[in-house]
Amino acid sequence: MSDGRKTSGIALILLDIEGTTTPIAFVADVLFPYARQRLHSHLEAHGDRPEYQSIVSRLRAEYATAQSDGERVPVWDDASAAASLASAVTFVEWLMDRDRKSTPLKELQGRIWKEGYERGEIAGEVFPDVPAALRHWNARGVQVGIFSSGSVLAQQLLFRHSSAGDLTGFIQRHFDTRVGAKGDSESYRRIAGAAALPSESILFLSDIPRELDAAQSAGMQIILVVRPGNAPVANPDRYIVVHSLSEVTLA
């Protein structure tokens, strides 16, 4: 840690993924392009299944909201099944271009990635220090959770098919945007409630200050993670800082 302080009384370590356990480049340069290239063919192959019809319906509702909010969204044409499919794909691409934390978008991406992981076309990348840290925390009797804008399915796939092997046995809890936005302190209160733990017994690690600030507002302990490829942070001295999960010291 940057100033030698230790965290204390921790029962759950809550981890961000992108920029914390996993290089940003893996998400931006591998996962996102993989999903984008397969959007049309994947929806075409599975679009008649109820779960995909639900995804498209929720995307359509998001489209209507964005349109009513005055955003310049691409035209959605429901004149035929083919037109509706093309419209859904175009809107998903529009969301991806803006890095929207859309729950149906994240669910769709997770389903596409599932096929890629299972075919061996992609493998989840984690920083070298991650597996040992997960094992160490578990051995200390501390639970590990993930809070990411990616769907729970996407989280589980990344750690199950990681380059370091299956790490899912070391992760007890998963949270995504269904609990709320990562920059909203109420999301962290919901996580504490779901874990049945006092907020102060949860340690949240992220590379994003606004997420850390939201978690701290909810009563959690926080650590800023600085990794190669992460965006520079203004005034990092406001936080306990680590460059590796091996630096996280539990009192």
Domains of the chain: 12-22+124-247 (3.40.50.1000), 28-118 (1.10.720.60)
Report the DSSP beta bridge partners of residue 250: 7
pLDDT at site 81: 92
Selection from 193, 179, 230, 228 nearest residue 209 by Cα: 230
State the pairing for strand pair 241-242/202-206: unpaired
Does 213 have pLDDT greater than 80?
yes
Could you give the CA distance from residue 34 to residue 24 in angstroms, rounded to a whole number? 15
How much is the mean pLDDT over the chain?
Answer: 95
% of the chain surpassing 70 pLDDT: 98
Q: Which residue has the tokens 């359509």?
A: 60
Encode pLDDT of 44-81 as tens digits. 999 999 999 999 999 999 999 999 999 999 999 999 99
Could you give the CA distance from residue 198 to residue 146 in angstroms, rounded to a whole number? 17
Give the pLDDT band (50/70/90) at residue 1.
very low
Per residue, the 3-state secondary structure of 178-202, as one string, reads: HHCCCCCHHHHHHHHHHHCCCHHHE
Report the DSSP beta bridge partners of residue 242: 225
Could you give the CA distance from residue 242 to residue 207 in angstroms, rounded to a whole number? 10
Does 2 have pLDDT greater than 70?
no
